Every structure is written in C-alpha cells, then in structure tokens.
Amino acid sequence: MNEFSRLSWSGDQVDALTEIMNIGIGVAAKNLSEMVAEEVFLSIPEIRLVSRSNISEELLSQNPEGMSFVFQDFCGSINGRSALIFPIKKSFNLVKALLNNVVADDEMTEMEQEALSEVGNVILNACIATLADTLDLHMEVEIPQYVRGGAVNVLLAGDDVLDHSRTNLFCAVNFKTHQSGIDGYVLFLLELPSVKKLRISLEQFLQKIM
Amino acid sequence: MESQRTVLVVDDSKLARIMLQKAISHYNSNWKVTVANNGEDGLTVFEENNPDIVIVDYHMPGITGLELAGKLRQQNRSIPIALCTANIQEAIKKQAALLDVSFVAKPVSETNVGHFLEKSEIAINGTEPHE
C-alpha cells in the first residue's frame, strides 16, 4: 500500500481495481471452465506497484524450469501487456484438456500454439473488456502471441512501453483445475503513465457511483 | 402494507458493497441493508441481525460465498440467498443448486439485483410484491 500511497492512490481506488479485475477474471474462469469442462479455481487478484526487475525476479523464482505464455498488448486510454503464463511442464495439460476427444494424441503438439493462443485470447479479452467497459476506457487489443518455454525476459523484452527500472502496475491471478492439472496465472502490466491515467479513471468512476 | 426487509450483503470489496446497497435501495428505499466484508463476519452479522435475504460474494479471502451459504442454510432452510459473482461456472451452479442458492451476476446492476429481490419477496410472502 505504501507504493500506492506514494503515487496518490487511495484505498478505495485499489479496492475498485481489485474488484474490477475480480469480475473480469470471473468471466474468464467461466469461459475457461466451459472450454475444458471442469471447474476452474481462482486466487484473489493481487495488485501491486513494482519495478520491472522485481517482476522478472519473481517470475523466475516461481518458474525455475521456464514458462510458456500467451501475451497480448493493449493500447488506447491505457497501454500495457496482458499475459497468460504456465509453468512449462503444465502448459500441455491445458492443451490436452482442450483437445481431448477432438484431435488424436499425435496431433496435439501441432495444435498447441493455436489452442493456447485461443485460450489466451478468450481469457485476456474477458479481463480487458471488463476493465474497459467498467471505466469507459478505449482499449485496442493486439493479436495474441504464443511463446513456448521462454524465459521471463522474453515476456518483458521487446516491450518499449514497460520501463525497466520504474514502477509498473502488476496484477496477478492464479488459476488451476484439479482433474486435468491445469495451473497458471493471468498477469497484467501497465507502465507508469498508464498507471496514473488508470488512477484518474478509477477516481472518476468512484465519484459517479458514490 | 409494504413489508420492511433486512438484506445482508457480504463482500470483501467496498465497491461491490456500495453497488449492492445502491441497487437494493433503488428496489426499495425502506429496506435496511447490513454488511460484512468476509465470510466469517457475515456469519456473525447474520446471527446478530436475523436478515430476511442474503447476498454473498463468491470469491472472498477465507471461506468462499458458497461455503458461507452452506453454513447459513444449516441455520435457516428457507431464507433467500444469492451468490453474487461473474464466475458462474457449471460446477458452481450445481453446488449452488444443492443449497437452493440463486445467482446475481456481476457486474452488479439494479436490474439483476431487482430480479432476485422480487423473487425473494414472492418466496417470503407467497404473493407478488407490492408496488
């Protein structure tokens, strides 16, 4: 909360953003659950202001064997990157759950990129659409990109909107299923100018409803 | 004569509690709203206030809204209870159905809260609610 206070964020603004992300990820979980025909369990969204270096270190320590991820950049009222991340050993569990009884086992590897990109598209867009609709933001979403077994630097590299040293908004939600062993998380990153714009939008939204 | 009701709202988000309170007041400004910000407190407020209707968030730290609904149902078999969530998965729907728990979809709107409250009044009164 100290970092939020330093950037003039109030407790109500953090609460509102957490709730909006909670709704977005709830819609996403419903969609994913329909796709894999299984209950999807979610963690409470964790929203922090951290440096990009901290994000790298954290993701690396949680995924020492590497990660697979789908990411989608968004731009407009606010700019940033959304990503669906899996520990490398768990990403194929999702592919199997999605394509079971649809394609033969030996075709699944070929389908991995398409399948995970589509899941990323569905999940990340549900979150982005909820944020945009609730706060009346204009957000354009780029095509999902899939990286198998990439280091965390790949997720953060090639992204000129995320500053390396300055504070970025970080929102993470873990999701998992019990039967098929799907385990991953949704991550949102916003660079500092967008963090400020988002705070203003949240304040306008709160003034309207309170 | 119009019935005065008490609605218990349990949600860890202040924003969600405010939105629900506004929607309930829009439906009937005479109704009383009591709030709790987690499942454990929700149980205490329920026992202290004896509400007529309960709306609980599904996704909260500590016990989930569904677990809370299960505990409330043990104490009162007929009270109208709704889970308020965007996460309306089939598995959650089935568990809610076993507890006779309805859904109010998030994002909260006056319309979807109003539908649940109207249905609740019919269940409590056995007749259509008064205008």
In terms of average pLDDT, the best of A16-30, A92-106, A134-148 is: A16-30
pTM for this prediction = 0.85
Give the model's pLDDT for residue A166. Answer: 58
In terms of average pLDDT, the best of A24-33, A86-95, B24-33 is: B24-33
Judged by CB atoms closer than 8 Å, whether chains meet at A130 and B88 is answered as: no
**Looking at CA atoms only, how far is residue A151 from chain B in angstroms?**
31
Q: Nearest chain A Cα to B95, which residue?
A: A39
Residue in A21, A22, A27, A133 to test binding to B, most B beta-carbons within 10 Å: A22
In-domain check, residue B33: yes
Judged by CB atoms closer than 8 Å, whether chains meet at B107 and A130 is answered as: yes
Inform me whether the pLDDT recorded for A98 exceeds 90. no
Q: Which residues of B touch A33 (CB under 8 A)?
A: 89-91
Residue in B11, B15, B20, B88 to test binding to A, most A beta-carbons within 10 Å: B15
Inform me whether the pLDDT recorded for A156 exceeds 80. no
In terms of average pLDDT, the best of A67-71, A103-107, B1-5 is: A67-71
In-domain check, residue B1: no
User: Based on the structure, what is the number of domains in chain B?
Assistant: 1
Q: Nearest chain B Cα to A40, which residue?
A: B89
Could you give all domains of chain A from N- to C-terminal order, each with its CATH number? Answer: 2-209 (3.40.1550.10)
In-domain check, residue B53: yes
* pLDDT per residue as tens digits for the range A163-181: 555 567 888 898 999 998 8
**Contact status of B21 with chain A (Cβ, < 8 Å):** no
User: What is the arithmetic mean of pLDDT over B56-67?
Assistant: 93
Give the model's pLDDT for residue A149. Answer: 73
User: What is the arithmetic mean of pLDDT over A127-155?
Assistant: 83
**Looking at CA atoms only, how far is residue B110 from chain A in angstroms?**
13
* pLDDT per residue as tens digits for the range B14-44: 989 998 999 999 999 999 999 999 999 999 9
> Which residues are A42's β-sheet partners?
A175
User: What is the arithmetic mean of pLDDT over A193-208?
Assistant: 93
Q: For residue B128, what is the DSSP state?
A: P
- Domain, as residue range, for B104: 6-125
Q: Which residues of A touch B103 (CB under 8 A)?
A: none
In-domain check, residue B131: no
Q: Which residues of A touch B91 (CB under 8 A)?
A: 33, 38-39
Give the model's pLDDT for residue A77. Answer: 92
Separation between Cα atoms, residue A194 and residue A159, nearest integer Å: 14
* pLDDT per residue as tens digits for the range B114-123: 999 999 999 9
Count of alpha carbons within 13 angstroms of residue B49, beta-carbon side: 21
In-domain check, residue B130: no
- Of A144, A147, A36, give the one whose Cα is nearest residue A93: A36
- Of B102, B33, B41, B91, give the one whose Cα is nearest residue B71: B41
In-domain check, residue B60: yes
**Contact status of B13 with chain A (Cβ, < 8 Å):** yes
Contact B22, A209 (CB under 8 A): yes
Element (H, E) at B85: strand B81-85
User: What is the arithmetic mean of pLDDT over A204-208?
Assistant: 95
In-domain check, residue B95: yes
Which CATH number is B82's domain given? Answer: 3.40.50.2300
Q: Which residues of A touch B90 (CB under 8 A)?
A: 33-34, 39
User: What is the arithmetic mean of pLDDT over B98-109?
Assistant: 93
* pLDDT per residue as tens digits for the range A137-150: 999 888 888 888 76
- Looking at every residue in chain A, the average pLDDT score rounds to 84
Q: For residue A88, what is the DSSP state?
A: T
Residue A100: which pLDDT band, with cuts at 50, 70 and 90? confident
